[in-house]
Structure 1
Amino acid sequence: MKNICIIPARGGSKRIPRKNIKNFLGKPIIAYSIEAALKSGVFSEVMVSTDDLEIAAIAQQYGAKTPFLRSPENSDDYASTTSVIKEVLANYAATDVFFDGCCCIYPTAPFIIPDNLVQANQLLVSGATDLVMTVVAYSFPIQRSLIINSSQTLAYKYPDQRLMRSQDLEPSYHDAGQFYFFLVNQFNTRDSIMSDRAVPLIRSELDVQDIDNESDWMIAELKMKLRLAHT
Structure 2
Amino acid sequence: MADMLEVNNLSIAFGGLQAVSAFNLNIKKGQLYGLIGPNGAGKTTVFNLLTGVYKPTEGLIKLDGENLIGKNTLEINKAGIARTFQNIRLFQEMSVLDNVKAGLHNHYKYSSLSGILRLPSYHKTEKIMDEKAVEILKVFDLDGEKNYMAGNLPYGKQRKLEIARALATKPKLLLLDEPAAGMNPNETLELMNTIRFVKEHFNMTILLIEHDMKLVGGICEALTVLNFGRILAEGKTDVVLNDSAVVTAYLGE
Using structure 1 for the length normalisation, give the TM-score. Answer: 0.27
- Pick 1 or 2: higher relative contact order, CA cutoff 8 A, min separation 6: 2
- Structure (1/2) with the larger helix percentage: 2
Using structure 2 for the length normalisation, give the TM-score. Answer: 0.25
